[in-house]
Structure 1
Amino acid sequence: MLINISGRTDIVNYYSDWMFKRFEEGYALSRNSLFPNSVRRYELTPEKVDCIIFGSKNFFPVLGRIHEITEKFPTYFHYTVTAYGKDVEPGVPDIDASMETFRALARIVGPQRMAWRYDPILLTEKYTVKRHLETFRYIAKGLEGQFDRCIFSFVEMYKKHEVNFPELIPLTEADKREIAAGIGKIAREQGFILQTCGPEADYAPYGILSSGCITLDILGRANGLRFRNLKHQGFRQGCHCMQSRDIGALNSCLNGCKYCYANKNAQLPRENYALHDPDSPLLIGHLKPTDRLEPGAQKSFLMKEDQRRA
């Protein structure tokens, strides 16, 4: 079983004390996003977890303690560094600070466990195709040799962007092809793997792979593990990832990114953060008398001889 920390929020950046507490106590609770009274308990032990996938826009808060987890568990890290400034990602460090932290994390966990995410790619009058290509090259050069692969995607046009992000310019297929060709050329010149994430078009002519960003092959190669040949069902249509269990919560990320899909609006994360208790097994709030608590499914994906069972 794979644990995701987290596709719903930036636990690493804002809730790291809670995260380390959960690993100290050996379990976490996760509330179902669609059925709020349904809560699952996941054991956070080497016997129950095959690999932990971290995703964040700022790993600085955990640099001093991440070894507490990496020394016990196989891990893989998705670090998002984009072209955007505070006007789009108000809670995210600037590019140079992000690259410095990226390199520091790579020294701790190893570049083979690091993925650089350059997503989502979007256009405004400020963030043009030209600017993306220039910034992508700058970051790629600054992180040279520090990551296993680069993963990108194009922004999804949600209805709420009309209110939250009115300056967003819809990407045309020509825009996407121009960007893909440009970043594909940079990846070939610098010799790193570049792949899409999600239901993107086929950009193979530009040397870009089409793959899930959380696959058993990627995790196995990074950690020297052998997984069974299992179908990757994905999280949505067109997704090629292996399913994982997320211990985060929607509407709780304080990064404030204008393109965010996980926050309904800017106010809800602040309200939910006020309900956060680092000592609670739930990221937001506590168990309620009306909650239905059940053990989460934690079947191993490893080959039998590789299973680390007590």
Structure 2
Amino acid sequence: MIINTGGRTDSVQYYSEWLLNRFAEGYVLARNPLFPNKVNHYELTPDKVDCVVFCSKDYRPILPRLHEITDRFATYFHYTITAYGKDVEPGVPSIEQSMDTLLELSEQVGKQRVAWRYDPVLLTRDYTIERHLETFERMAAVLTPYVDRCIFSFVEMYKKLETNMPELIPLSVQDMDALAQGLGAIAAKYGLHLQTCGTNGDYTRYGIHASGCMTLDILGRANGIVFKDRKHKGMRQGCHCIESRDIGAYDTCLNGCKYCYANKNAHKAVENFKRHDPASPLLLGHVGPEDTIIQGVQKPFRKGEKHG
């Protein structure tokens, strides 16, 4: 099975001690977002976990102890660094600081295990197409030698954004084409493998690859692992990633990004954070008498393994 530590929250940036404790103790509990009293139990041991995937906007809190996980597990790291400032991503470090941290991460785990995420791409009066391309090139010049690939996607215009980001300018087909053409040209200039994520159109004409951002091929090559030839069901409609088990929780990330889909609002995340106990097997709170603990399905993806 694939463990995802960062799909619902930035566990690396805000819950690194808890994360390290869970891998040290060898198990984790995760509430079902749809049925909160149903709690899944997952074993976090090398014989049960094929790969651990991280996604964060700041790896500094975990870097000194990251080896406690990487020494034992196959891993892959998504590092999100965008063109936005504190006006859009209040809790995220500066671009320069983020790039410095990515370089440290890459030197520690190897460039083949690090993907730079430049997403979501969105437009406002301040964040224009020109600004995106200028910032992306500045970053690509520094980051390309330290990453396996770069993944970008265009912002999804879900209803919550109308309230959270009224300044957002809807992307037209022409806007997306101009951005893709510009990003593709910059990637080609620096020899950067650039790909889209999800249902973001076909831009192969600009040298941009179409792929899931978490496939068995990517994870296997990064770690020297041979996986089974397994169909990728995706995590949502239009997604080409391999299925994974997320051990985080929604409404817990303190970054406060305006475009965030994982928080209903920033205030709720702050309130939930007060319930966090680094020693608990759950990210928030503790198991109660009303909870039912269920052993989560842990199917192996590696060739030749049959444990359940």
Normalised by the length of structure 2, the TM-score is 0.98
CA distance in 2, matches of 1:236, 1:11: 21
Matched ranges for 1:124-143 at <5 A: 124-143=124-143
1:41 and 1:296 in contact (8 A); partners too:
yes
1:162 Cα deviation after fit: 1.4
Write out per-residue CA displacement over residues 178-232 of structure 1, whole angstroms, 9 at most, x where no aligned residue. 0000000011111121100111100010011111000000000000000000010
Q: Does the CA-based 8 Å contact 1:46-1:308 persist in structure 2?
A: no
1:74-93 maps to which residues of 2 (within 5 A)? Answer: 74-93=74-93
Alignment check: 8 A CA contact 2:29 2:40 kept: yes
Q: Structure 1 stretches of 5 or more lacking a match?
A: none
Separation in 2 of the partners of 1:51 and 1:237?
23
- Relative to structure 1, the CA distance from residue 26 to residue 308 in structure 2 (aligned partners, 3 Å threshold; closer, same or farther) is farther
SS in 2 for 1:120: strand
Could you tell me which residue of structure 2 aligns to residue 281 of structure 1?
Answer: 281
Q: CA deviation at 1:308?
A: 10
**Could you say what secondary structure the match of 1:260 adopts?**
coil
Corresponding residue of 2:6 = 6
User: TM-score, normalization: structure 1?
Assistant: 0.98
For residues 303 and 246 of structure 2, the distance between their equivalents in structure 1, rounded to whole angstroms, comes to: 23
Whole-angstrom distance in 2 between the partners of 1:241 and 1:63: 26
**Aligned alpha-carbon RMSD (Å):** 1.0
Report what 2:38 is aligned to: 38
Superimposed CA distance per residue, residues 3-54 of structure 1 (whole angstroms, 9 cap, x where no aligned partner): 0011000000000010011111110000001111111001111010000000
Q: CA deviation at 1:299?
A: 1.2
Q: Given the superposition, is the C-alpha separation of residues 261 and 220 from structure 1 closer, same or farther in structure 2, using an over 3 Å criterion?
A: same
Distance 1:62 1:266 in 2: 23
Match of 2:294 in 1: 294
Where do 5+ consecutive residues of structure 2 fail to align?
none
Q: CA deviation at 1:144?
A: 2.5
Aligned residues: 307
Q: Which residue in the other structure is 2:254 paired with?
A: 254
Structure 2 match to 1:21: 21
Tell me, in whole angstroms, the C-alpha distance in 2 between the residues paired with 1:143 and 1:263: 29
Assess, with a 3 A threshold, how the Cα gap between structure 1 residues 308 and 96 changes in structure 2: closer, same or farther.
Answer: farther
CA distance 1:282–1:208, shift in 2 (3 Å) = same
Q: Distance in 2 between matches of 1:220 and 1:110?
A: 14
Question: Which whole-Å CA distance do the structure 1 matches of 2:294 and 2:160 have between them?
Answer: 34
Q: Deviations over 1:57-78 (max 9, x none)?
A: 0001111000111010000000
Poorly superposed stretches of 4+, deviation over 6 Å: none
Secondary structure at the counterpart of residue 86 of structure 1:
coil
Partner-residue secondary structure (3-state), 1:64:
helix
